[in-house]
Each structure stands twice: as C-alpha cells, then as structure tokens.
A and B are shown apart, each in its own frame.
Chain A
C-alpha cells in the first residue's frame, strides 16, 4: 500500500472543557478525495486549522509526505505543498480576480523581494493566473474587483488561488456553503474535475455532494472520527446513521 500524503496521528486540542479535536488519526492517500463530514460544531474547521498551522494542536503529530509539519507556520506549510480554502471566503477584495491569483503564482515563482518591475506586467504570473481562472470558469471575470464577485464566484476564485500555489494537497472547508443551486452544481462539477488531478481533503455539509465526490469519508462527531470508509460503507454504517445521518437522509 502507498504512503499516505497526509497523516494525522492522535491529534488533540481542547478549548476549556471542550475537546474539539479528541484523538483524531486519519490518513489521506495520494489521489483520493477524502471527505470529512460531521454535524455543526464537530470540530471540522478546527481540524483544517490544525492541519494548516493556524491552530496549534495540544498534542499529536501531522505528517505531510512523510515530513513532520506539526510545528511549521502556515506559510511554510503552503510552501511544502498544502493549500486551503476557508469556510468564510478569504480573498483580497480590493484586488482584481487576476491579481488575487497572480499573488499566489508570484509566491510560487521566485522571490517576492523584487522591487523594480511592475508586478502587473509579469506575463508569466498573469498567464498562470489566467490558466487557473480559466480552470475554475472565471476567465471572463479576471479584471473584476474580487470583492464584487458573487458568492459562488468568490468560492471558485479561492480555489483558483489555491491551485496557483501548485499544491500537492487541497484542503477545502465547505466550498459549497452559501452558494446558490446553480453555483453549487458548477462547483461540484469543478471539484469532480479537480479530483482527477489533485488529492483533496474536503470538509462539506452537503451530503449529496459528498456522496457524489468522495472516494472515502471520515465522520467526525464531537472531535472524534467515529468511522472512515467508502461511500457505501459510510451509508451503511449503523453508528453513523444513528449519530449523524438520520434515517431519512441515507
């Protein structure tokens, strides 16, 4: 069996009396879309924060491509190949869509301590940005100030930004949250396409989307992974149904 790309070993984090991450161990295999589902407040976002270095776990280890990254900062982890989207979209609202992605491309292409040339004139960065925007279907919105994009477009933009960092693992925190039905459909199609080329850890509330996209699912309840398995395994798991899915949902 292949080495996992991401391995969480007994991660723990508590806020006061709340065990928000309660001994989570989890493997994300290269090439898979691994979904994490769980009720609100289960600790999914906190888990993504721990993986990306925004929240420090109390104990446990995070291994990425075999390397211990538990103590690295967010920028260092991104340079190691992690990229994420945020549950609450995080973009530079005053930049155009293209400059948002170009910033990510620039972070990946040589030093950013360059002072003389106008960055907006760097063809390589602009081309990389346009390619990523094209991939997520935003090519014709490239010049628009990112803050004025629709909610679903901002979601897509954030994914384009993540792609421009040339990640080995994409961590997406509820990429469908708040998008309209049409936008949701487009985003699901996008995620499906990305799944062909990228390893993805997907936190998502939309059950239909998760069942359509995921290769494997981990179910997080009160900071614990109560089950990990393929879609049919999770659908058929009695404990999961009781704890989370509800009878009419499956």
Chain B
C-alpha cells in the first residue's frame, strides 16, 4: 500500500478517536456528527464531480429527499430504521434516476443549470408540504429507532454510526471508481468520444452513477434529519448544494477522501467564525475564495504532498 492510500484511513481513524481525545462533549459531538454527515454527502458528490465529471449543483436535493422520507414516515408513525432507511435511500435513488435521466442528456453549464433547476423544484415541493410543516419545517417526534432500540439517542453511538456510514460511503465510492464501471465513468469524464469509439455509450453508466450518488446523499439525509431531529426546506436549498460543491473543491476534486476534509474544515471554520463575530460571513466568503485560489489540489492535495 502506498502512503497516500493510508491517508483517508488516517482521517477516519482521527474521527474515531476524537470522542476519546477531548472532543467527547455534546457540543463537539454534535459538530462532528454534522461534519461527518455533510462529509458523506460531499464524498458522494465528489464521486460524481471528480469521478464521473458530472458537476451537480443540485446534490442537496437527494439529501433532502432522504431527510423528508424520515419526516414523512415519522408523521405516520413509522420510525423503524429497518423501514425508514431503505425507503429513504430508495426514494433518493429514484429521484436521482428520474431527474438524472433528463439532466445527463445535457453537459457542461447546461448540466449544472438543470441540476440546479431540479434541486429548486424539490425545494419548492417541500415548501408546499403543509402537512409536514411547509416553510417552517417539521420536528421529529424522536430519532429513528434501530431494530426497536433507541440507539441513535446515544450521542456516542450516533457518532460511531455516522463514522461507520461515512467510511462505508467512501469505501463504496472508491470501490466503484476502481471497478470496470468506474473506469468507464473516469474515461468518459476525460473523453466521452473515446469511450463511444471503443463501443460503450457513456449515458447508462453516468445515469447509474448519478443514482448511486443520490442514494448515498439520501443516506446522509436520514442521518441529518436524526442529528437535528428537524427537517425543513433549508435542508435542500441551493445554497446547501453550493456548500457541498464547495466542500468537494476545498478538499480537492481528484480525491474522494478530500471531501471529508473539506466538510470538516468547512463546518468547523464556519462554526468557529460565527462564534467570533457577528458578520462572520464577510470573512468566511473571502477565506473560501482564497482557499480555492491558493490550495491547488485542495486540502487533500496539501496533505498528500506533505505525507504522500
């Protein structure tokens, strides 16, 4: 194994020991859970952007579909993870499959715009769900149960479940990109005509990849709804999609695990700045711009150059 291959494992290991190393308070755990959940969404987006070359500006929609599946089932008294999880993931995959079937026929700026448009469509749909809080959002009765237990109520358990699913998301995306399927996606990102000229149409591969990323986004949405015990249209605002894309770029587009770093850095910096000053966004924005300008290869590129 090369040293670079160990770096993502080091990041996951750091998250595993964090609760035991002084970050075990409920404040820290809440923050870390949020970072890991957004990290999952960012990793699945990085799979699309860096792997398949599909720059989606609507990825928060899959997050939102997953989160709203939790809310809607909760409102109908269904709170068992064994039901909620597959339903939420399937709904997010289905949403991505349907919207992707149209979006993937376009490319470049058109693809960005059409994913944004579908994202907005989902946003306005949730805003109009009066039975589930409409604009105001919906507060869950409680966290999703796991096989009848209240496992997710335990902050530490929730931390490791988030970490486990983050690791799973990363591992799955890495495996997919290395497979035959991923090879087609990677080749088509660089040169779609070359892929066609060896006898493969990129479209179905991209569509399946898009649906898989959507399913993983939905999984993150289930956790996000549980982390805050609250779901609102803000979960799938276009700003959220932009933030996810930003985490991917901040972390480094070519490396899946970079998205985890990007999400961590984004969430921690955002929280820290917000505590320091009232107009923190005035500082946050320019900082992000500087990071993109000067961090070639993103944070993961920086780390890989130091330790790879």
Question: Which of A2-10, A21-29, A99-107, A176-184 sits within the interface?
Answer: A99-107
Proximity bits, A197-234, B CB within 8 Å = 1, else 0 = 00000000000000000000000000000000000000
Chain B min CB distance to A215 (Å)? 25
Give the size of the chain B interface in residues (CB under 8 angstroms): 25
A73 to B200, CA, bound (A): 10
A79 at the binding interface (Cβ < 8 Å): yes
Q: Is the interface of B mostly helix, strand, loop or mixed?
A: helix
B208 at the binding interface (Cβ < 8 Å): yes
Q: Which residue of A lies closest to B203 (CB)?
A: A75
Please tell me if the beta carbons of A113 and B197 are within 8 angstroms of each other in the complex: no
- Between B183, B193, B199, the greatest number of chain A beta carbons within 10 A of the residue's beta carbon is seen for B199
Chain A min CB distance to B175 (Å)? 7
Question: Assuming A90-B193, A92-B187, is B198 touching A119 (CB within 8 A)?
Answer: no
Chain B residues, CB < 8 A from A90: 191, 193-194, 197
A196 at the binding interface (Cβ < 8 Å): no
Chain B min CB distance to A115 (Å)? 5
Please tell me if the beta carbons of B179 and A114 are within 8 angstroms of each other in the complex: yes
Chain B min CB distance to A84 (Å)? 6
A74 at the binding interface (Cβ < 8 Å): yes
Please tell me if the beta carbons of B201 and A91 are within 8 angstroms of each other in the complex: no
Chain B residues, CB < 8 A from A106: 180, 183-184
What is A's interface to B at a CB cutoff of 8 Å? 52, 54, 73-76, 78-79, 83-84, 86, 90-95, 99-100, 102-104, 106-108, 111-120, 122, 161, 164-165
> Apart from A113-B181, A116-B175, A165-B198, what are 16 other A-B pairs with CB-CB below 8 Å?
A73-B196, A92-B191, A95-B187, A106-B183, A106-B184, A111-B180, A112-B180, A112-B205, A113-B180, A113-B204, A115-B179, A116-B179, A117-B180, A118-B178, A119-B179, A119-B180
